[in-house]
Structures are given as structure tokens and as C-alpha cells.
């Protein structure tokens, strides 16, 4: 019968029941598995390191268990772990080859690029293909240095997860992205102004005539009913020097 576990027993927590020489074995195991895995990753090439696709994430998860267990579990043979690592990396290499040679395989495995912004407005219907929200797209645009949707001619969410942004030479009036709405919400537009005045959807950035949508007509693109004043992005004045 196993002895009961004593909580916070330092010897069990720090050393365990292994002999002292086993820790030298851990060093040898770690060096062997690390070196072998590094060699296989080098064989795969830079693609898996430069951008993690769906297949590459699966590779990381599968390798994590096979590599980690063999480093410190005494009952896991090194050759068995190395066999698992070899098969996993081999499958990944085969999938990479299919992706490089066949466009259909690339779409099935990695997905495809989608347009998420067109002429200063976010495309909600396109976002459904990736389970994205307009809020997430606005955040990615800020990371890319975009402060206003009117600056964007087009933006594409690539299959690898990156956002490609193409800017307009002359920005149009659009939805301001700075500061984020959760820091300071966009002020709602209450006054329609003149017959040609525009209102901007605070979610997707689409422009409509203010007189037609105020005060709370739902946006026909995204369904939200919050409208704000469109603004034009301008270069920020340099900070004064003390």
C-alpha cells in the first residue's frame, strides 16, 4: 500500500525518490533530445519558425509532450521518444511539401487569405470566415500603425495570421481607431447637420448620410446602431522640446 503523501514535504518536493545519479541522467537525456529535435527543426526549414500556421501549432503541441517526457521520466525510453519526434516532424514536412506544391492543399490545411478592410470600412461578412470581430481587426490595424480607417485602401488577413495593410495616398474621412473604444468610447453623433453630412458606424466604419441613420438606425453592414463623427487622419504635430 502506498504511503500517504505528506503536504509540503521539502525532500519530496525538491529531490523526490530518485538517486542522485539520476539527475546526471536527466542532463544527458535533455542534451540528446534537445539536440535531436533541433536537428529535425533545422531540417524542416525556416517556414515553421517564421510564422506559425495551424499545422505548425499542432507540431509544437505534439513535440512538447514527446520531448518533455523523455527528458525527465525514467520509464520513457529515449529511442521511443525519438521515434515519436521523427514521425511527427516527418508528417509536418510532408504537409509542408503538399502546401508548397498544391494550392488546394494549402487552402485545406492553412486556410486562405481574406479581405477584411476595403476603402476605409471593415467587412463583417468576411470576418465570419475566421470567427473574428471588428474589434479585433481594429486592434490589429492599430498594431500596424493605423490610426484611422480612412487611411486604409485595403487590408488582408493572411493564411498565416498576419495582417497586410495597404494605405491610401490621401486619407479619407473615417472611423478613428485611437484611442481604443475600451479606453475612450467614440462619442455618439446626435445632430444630423446638413443634408450632405456623414455619420460613421462606430463598429465597422461604414459611412452613411447622417440624416438617414440618426439617431439609432442599425448599420446595414454590421447591424450595430452607434454612429459617430467621421474624422480625417492627420500627421501628428511633433512634441515640443523642453
For the chain, domains (ranges, CATH) are 12-107 (no CATH), 114-228 (3.30.240.20)
Alpha helices in 73-187 (DSSP H): 78-101, 103-110, 124-127, 134-143
| pLDDT of 121 | 95
pTM score over 0.85: no
Identify the bridge partners of residue 228 per DSSP, sorted by sequence position.
188, 200
Average pLDDT estimate for 80-93:
82
CA distance 185 to 53: 34
Asked whether the predicted pLDDT for residue 157 surpasses 80, the reply is yes
Asked whether the predicted pLDDT for residue 239 surpasses 60, the reply is no
| pLDDT of 17 | 74
Which of 74-88, 119-133, 173-187 shows the lowest mean pLDDT across its residues? 74-88
| pLDDT of 242 | 40
For strands 152-157 and 114-118, give the pairing: antiparallel
On average, the pLDDT of the chain sits at 82
Secondary structure of the chain: what % helix, strand, coil (to 5)? Answer: 45, 15, 40
Identify the bridge partners of residue 122 per DSSP, sorted by sequence position.
117
Amino acid at each position: 500500500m502506498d504511503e500517504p503523501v505528506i503536504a509540503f514535504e521539502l525532500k519530496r518536493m525538491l529531490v523526490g525518490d530518485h538517486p542522485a545519479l539520476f539527475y546526471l541522467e536527466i542532463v544527458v537525456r535533455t542534451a540528446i533530445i534537445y539536440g535531436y529535435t533541433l536537428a529535425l527543426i533545422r531540417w524542416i526549414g525556416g517556414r515553421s519558425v517564421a510564422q506559425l500556421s495551424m499545422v505548425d501549432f499542432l507540431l509544437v503541441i505534439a513535440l512538447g509532450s514527446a520531448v518533455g517526457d523523455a527528458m525527465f521520466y525514467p520509464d520513457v525510453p529515449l529511442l521511443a521518444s525519438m521515434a515519436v519526434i521523427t514521425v511527427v516532424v516527418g508528417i509536418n514536412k510532408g504537409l509542408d511539401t503538399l502546401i508548397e506544391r498544391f494550392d488546394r492543399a494549402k487552402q485545406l490545411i492553412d486556410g486562405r487569405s481574406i479581405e477584411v478592410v476595403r476603402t476605409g470600412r471593415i467587412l463583417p461578412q468576411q470576418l465570419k470566415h475566421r470567427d473574428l470581430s471588428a474589434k479585433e481587426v481594429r486592434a490589429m490595424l492599430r498594431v500596424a500603425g493605423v490610426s484611422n480607417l480612412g487611411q486604409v485602401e485595403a487590408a488582408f488577413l493572411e493564411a498565416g495570421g498576419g495582417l497586410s495593410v495597404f494605405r491610401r495616398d490621401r486619407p479619407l474621412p473615417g472611423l478613428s481607431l485611437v484611442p481604443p473604444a475600451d479606453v475612450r468610447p467614440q462619442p455618439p453623433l446626435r445632430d444630423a447637420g446638413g443634408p450632405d453630412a456623414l455619420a460613421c458606424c462606430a463598429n465597422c466604419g461604414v459611412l452613411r448620410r447622417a440624416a438617414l441613420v440618426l439617431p439609432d438606425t442599425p448599420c446595414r453592414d454590421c447591424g450595430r446602431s452607434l454612429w459617430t463623427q467621421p474624422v480625417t487622419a492627420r500627421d501628428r504635430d511633433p512634441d515640443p522640446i523642453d
